[in-house]
């Protein structure tokens, strides 16, 4: 091989490797925390939604940018708000009206961390009996049951987050 050809090859090879290495590296697999998570066209909360992904959907992380990760899933590539993803596959499906889960994934709180453990869990039959013994009215007990049944639609939650500049809509 002539010396000039070898020098050209030696100069071009590192550049080619630098261009190809990111594509050759194995993408990290993460998982969607909550059903109805938006895969968006751009790294912006106001970007076009390409598809909504179900909880537990594995995604390949291609690029990490401050609040968003560029991922591929189901043949589509787009951006997901980073707090909607987890390195571990979710163990169980969350309820569709789970506001805490929608805001940040699986949220758990110990009874000692709350003002009232039963307020977090709702009223079990035993809690309801205890509340009645302590003088809670039927209206109050029914109000707690009504709150347990309340569901927040994803569109309403998105509107709330956007208006309050919270989560993926924060500056």
Mean pLDDT in residue range 116-140: 77
Q: What letters, b where the CB count within 10 A reaches 16 and e where it falls short, cover 69-107?
A: bbbebeeebbbbbeebbbeeebeeebeeebeebbbebbe
Integer angstrom CA distances of residue 115 from 109, 111, 112, 121, 150: 11, 8, 8, 12, 21
- Residue 150: strand, helix, or coil: coil
β-pair partners for 69: 64, 80
pLDDT of res. 118: 44
Domain edges within the chain: 26-169
pLDDT of res. 169: 85
Residue 95 pLDDT greater than 50, yes or no: no
CA distance linking residue 82 with residue 85, whole number of Å: 6
- The residue that leads in pLDDT, 71 or 116, is 71
Question: What pLDDT digit, counting tens, does each position of 7-47 carry?
Answer: 666 667 666 655 555 554 567 999 999 989 999 999 998 89
Residue 84 pLDDT greater than 70, yes or no: yes
For 26-169, CATH number?
2.30.30.40
77: which 2 tokens? 């590539």
Q: What is the mean pLDDT of the chain?
A: 78
Query: Going by C-beta distance under 8 Å and a sequence separation of 6 or more, which residues neighbour residue 109?
Result: 120
Is-above-0.75 flag for pTM?
A: no
């Amino acid at each position: 091989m002539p010396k000039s050809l070898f020098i050209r090859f030696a100069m071009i090879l590192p550049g080619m490797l630098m261009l190809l290495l990111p594509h050759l590296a194995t993408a990290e697999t993460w998982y969607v925390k909550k059903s109805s998570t938006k895969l968006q066209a751009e790294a912006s909360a106001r970007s076009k939604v390409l598809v909504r992904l179900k909880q537990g959907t594995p995604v390949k992380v291609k690029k990490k940018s401050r609040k968003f990760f560029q991922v591929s899933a189901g043949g589509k590539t787009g951006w997901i708000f980073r707090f909607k993803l987890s390195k571990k596959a979710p163990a169980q499906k969350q309820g569709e009206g789970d506001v805490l889960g929608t805001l940040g994934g699986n949220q758990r709180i110990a009874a000692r961390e709350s003002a009232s453990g039963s307020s977090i869990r709702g009223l079990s039959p035993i809690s309801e009996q205890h509340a009645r013994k302590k003088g809670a009215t039927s209206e109050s007990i029914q109000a707690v049951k009504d709150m347990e049944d309340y569901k927040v639609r994803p569109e309403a939650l998105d509107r709330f987050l956007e208006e309050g500049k919270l989560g993926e809509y924060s500056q």
